[in-house]
Every structure is written in structure tokens, then in C-alpha cells.
Structure 1
Amino acid sequence: MNAILLYFRYISVSFRSQMQYKVSFLLQLVGHLLGTVVEFFGIWALFSRFNNIGTWTLAEVALFYGMVNISFACADALGKGFDSFTKIIRNGDFDRLLLRPRTTVLQLLGTEFTLKRIGRFSQGIVVMAWSLSTLHIPFTLKTLWLLGTSFIGSVALFVGIVIVQATLTFWTIESLEIMNILTYGGVETAQYPLSIYSKWFQRFFTFLIPLGCVSYFPLLAVLQKEDTFLVPLWLCYVSPMAGILFLVVALQLWKVGERYYCSTGS
């Protein structure tokens, strides 16, 4: 409980610091909002030209787009400390975190809660609401469970990927840009149904990086398409747990990385 209260204390400090320059904050928020609007405009242009992708319509794809964007916006806001870990470890600031009587994970999660991600989050919510309204999907307990677990699992997965990226920095010092394939590349991938990709690509983002488990399978059940793609209904309900398991594994890898950490010596 003390750790949770301390985390919210960290977050409140982060909020106040970001709101010191309100105009700058508003401009960044609008910039993120417009950037994601342009992204969805590209998807709309694709469907206006070809009408559909396989059996998928624009409204159906919009559900995938909205879910992955609100999830990534939250994960990106939560994991900013891990995302900027390269600078922390290169400057020797990680030594200070180790001296404090709190876990380094808690301190890094509380480094900054990036408010400007509200722009991406808001746009994702609007797109998802439009999709659900257009497809006439009722807000039943089943639908709320699938959407809620998909959101939680997706956030956990993206935070886990960022933690893995930060963990590798213990050995490489510099952040590996190839990991962006799994973060930003994962967002681009999950904006469309996984079934449109090649088989090897589907397996990679299902069994190695469980992106399909947290976003594709539960949304299939929301769209009532699980029978079309021969996916068991029970799998759609439990598959988002893979995102939480991935986060647990990432945290264990982080502990291993901490043991091999060597100070800058400066």
C-alpha cells in the first residue's frame, strides 16, 4: 500500500511539472492528436479505394485500430522512465535509484506519466466508439469483459516490451532501435486483423510476442467472427492473460539485468 501511495505521489509531481508550461503542453497534445488523425485518414483512404481487405470492413478494422492506440497510449505514458533508461544509465543516475529504499521498477514507473499521450488516447476512443456504434455491438457483460481484458493485456504487453528494451541496455548501454519493431511496429501491425498477414508473421506475434492474444482474439469474439477463423471461443476470453504473463517475464529479466549492472565509475 505504501508503494502504491508513493507511486501516486510520483505521478502528482510529474503532473505538476508538465503543467508548468501549459501552452507547450497543449501544443504537444494537439500534435499527438493530429498525428493519429492523419494515421487513421490513411486507413480510411485505403478502404475508400478498395472497399475492404479480404472480409474486413473499415468499421471492423477501426475497432482494432482504436484498441491498440488507446492501449499503446497508456503504456507509453506509464513506461516513459524505461523508455528513456539509456540516458539514465549513461549518466550514472541509476546508481541513485539503487541507493533508495524502493524498487527501481517503482521509481522508473514514477519518473514521468506523459500527459501528452492523451491526444492519441482520445482519438483511439473516438474511433472505437464509432466502430462499435456502426457495427451495432451492444454493451453486454461479455463485450465489456472482452474489451476490458484486451485493453489491460495490451497495456501490460507494451509495458513489458519497453522493460525488455531497457533491460538490454544493461549490456549494450545504448538503446537498441531494433526493439522499436516490437513497439511502434507492433502498433502498426495490430491496427489491422492478424489474419491478413503471412503465417510466419502470425505465429511470431502470437507465440513469441503475444500481440495477437491481447488484441486479435478477444476482438474476434466481440465481432462474432471466431467461428469464421476457427478460433475457440474460450481462447478469446483467456488469451489477454498472455500480455500479463509477458510483463511478469519482463520483470524477471529486469531483475537479472540489475545483477549484472556495473556503475559508470565516474
Structure 2
Amino acid sequence: MFYISIFFQYMSQYLKTKLQYRADLLVEFLSDLMFQAVNLIFILVVFGHTQMLHGWTRDEIIFIYGFFLVPFSVFASFFNIWDFNERYIVRGEMDRVLTRPVHSLFQIILERMELESLLGGVTGLIIMAYAGSRLHLAFHWYDVFIFILFVLGGTLVYAGIFISLATISFWSDARSSIMPMMYNIGNYGRYPVDIYNRVIRYILTWVLPFAFVGVYPSAYFLGKKEWYVYSFLTPVMGIVFFMIAIFLWNAGVKRYRGAGN
């Protein structure tokens, strides 16, 4: 209850701060929409030259992209730690965080939250609804709960990978460009993995399981029964990778010796 209370207090203060600069907030919304529109246009351009992509139709890939946006938006809102090395290790702000009686990762998550990124999830739902109507998909009452479970699983997969990458800073405080590179790799998860070769497919499934953020959970709603096992592995993979990340984080914090010159 203590952590829940702190979470909502931080959220309240964050919203008050953002609403003081409504024009900046509107610009952020528009820039996010433009970025998502560019990705959607890319899919449409690809299917302007072909009717099928390794057995997948245009609307199916649009549906996968829409689903991908939902867990990614939750991740981007609450796990915005791409600058952890620069801000908390190089600049020494980790010392401040560790003086407080709250778990360090929880504090950093709250400090770096960007709730406006949740708009991407709304866009994703709209895209899914559009593609689903064209595909004439049938949904059951329990699919809502499965959808929430898959979204949480995909979010934890992303969070687990990027938190694990952030912990490298505890062992090496040198500036690194691995985060942007990993963001680019993560984009592969928004397309069907069977369009890639076997090595990339294996990496996106078991090493850097970004496929569990988009294509695998979407396969359930698209009725791809041959991939149902992978679909329901989504929350399992999310929990496993997130627990690994927490273990690495706690080990890194114990090793951390503070900022110095």
C-alpha cells in the first residue's frame, strides 16, 4: 500500500506539471501520432507492391502493429530509462536515489514516467479495431482478460530487456550507445517472425524476445492456431525476463560505490 500511495502521488504531481504547459503537451501528442503514421504508411507502401507477405495479409500485419503499440506505450510511459547511464551514473544522481527508503528502481521509474506516451496505446487500439473489422475477427468475452494479460506480458518483456541493459552501467560507467540500437532491434517484433531467417527468428523468440510484444500475442486474436503455444507463453516470458532484470539490478546496486572523481 505504501508503494501504491507513492505511485499515485507521483502521478498526480506529474499531471499537474504537464498541464501547466499544454502547448508542449499537444506538440508531444502530435509528434507521436506522426511517428506512428509514418510506420503505418511504411506497411501500406510495402503492400502496395504485394498482396501477401509470407502468407500474411496487409490487414493482419496492421493488426499486429496496432497490438504492438499497446504494450510498447505502457513500457514507454513507465520504463523510460534510456538515459540511465548518462543521468544516474555519469552525473552521480544514483547517490541521491539510494539515500531514500524506497527501492531505487521504483524511484527511477517514477521520476522518468511519461504518461503522455499512453496515447500510443489508444492509437494501437484504434488500429486494431480497424484491422479487426476488415478481417471480420470474432472475439469472446474472455478475450478482454487475455488481451490485458498479453499486454502486461509484452510490457514486462520490454522492461526486462531494457532494465537488464541499464544494469551494465553498474559494471561499466562509460557512455554506451547500446540502448538506441536495442530500440531499433525491438522494432522487428512488430512483424511476423517467419519472414526472417532461422537465426533471427530464434533471437527474437528466446534471446531478445521482442516477438512476444507483437506478433506472438497477436497470433491468438488472428486465429493462428499453430502459434497459440507461443501466444500463451507471452506472460511467462515477461515474468521471467523481468525477474532476471530485477536480480541484475539488485546485484548492480550492491556493487555500486557512488560517484567520485
Q: Please, what TM-score do these two structures have when normalized by structure 1? A: 0.90
CA distance in 1, matches of 2:188, 2:146: 20
SS at match of 2:47: helix
**CA shift in 2, pair 1:211/1:196, >3 Å:** same
- Corresponding residue of 1:123: 123
Question: Identity over aligned residues, as a percent?
Answer: 25
The residue correspondences of 1:224-239 to structure 2 (distance < 5 A) are: 224-227=223-226, 231=227, 233-239=228-234
The residue correspondences of 1:181-220 to structure 2 (distance < 5 A) are: 181-186=181-186, 188-220=187-219
Q: State the one-letter code of the partner of 1:223.
A: L
Equivalent residues of 1:190, 1:211 under 8 A apart = yes
- Corresponding residue of 1:255: 250
1:205-227 CA distance string (max 9 Å, x none) = 11112223453333222212223
SS at match of 1:49: coil
Equivalent residues of 1:146, 1:218 under 8 A apart = no
- Corresponding residue of 2:152: 152
Equivalent residues of 2:188, 2:211 under 8 A apart = no
CA distance in 2, matches of 1:147, 1:27: 30
CA-CA distance at 1:19 after TM superposition = 2.1
- Corresponding residue of 1:264: 259
CA-CA distance at 1:174 after TM superposition = 4.1
Number of matched residues?
260
- Corresponding residue of 2:236: 241
1:132-185 CA distance string (max 9 Å, x none) = 111111221453344222211111111112211221111222453224333342
- Corresponding residue of 2:29: 29
CA distance in 1, matches of 2:82, 2:256: 18
Single out whichever of 105-114 and 250-259 deviates more from structure 2: 105-114
Q: State the one-letter code of the partner of 2:153.
A: G
**CA shift in 2, pair 1:61/1:222, >3 Å:** same
CA distance in 2, matches of 1:17, 1:184: 31
**CA shift in 2, pair 1:116/1:174, >3 Å:** farther
CA-CA distance at 1:6 after TM superposition = 0.6
- Corresponding residue of 1:104: 104
SS at match of 1:240: helix
Q: Please, what TM-score do these two structures have when normalized by structure 2? A: 0.92
CA-CA distance at 1:255 after TM superposition = 0.5
SS at match of 1:50: coil
CA-CA distance at 1:18 after TM superposition = 2.1
Q: State the one-letter code of the partner of 1:250.
A: A
**CA shift in 2, pair 1:234/1:54, >3 Å:** closer
- Corresponding residue of 2:9: 9
Equivalent residues of 1:168, 1:175 under 8 A apart = no
The residue correspondences of 1:25-64 to structure 2 (distance < 5 A) are: 25-64=25-64
**CA shift in 2, pair 1:134/1:26, >3 Å:** same
CA-CA distance at 1:34 after TM superposition = 1.1
2:225 equivalent to 1:223: no
CA distance in 2, matches of 1:226, 1:177: 39
Equivalent residues of 1:165, 1:176 under 8 A apart = no
2:171 equivalent to 1:171: yes
Q: What value does the CA root-mean-square deviation take over the aligned residues?
A: 1.9
- Structure 1: state its 5+ residue gaps: none
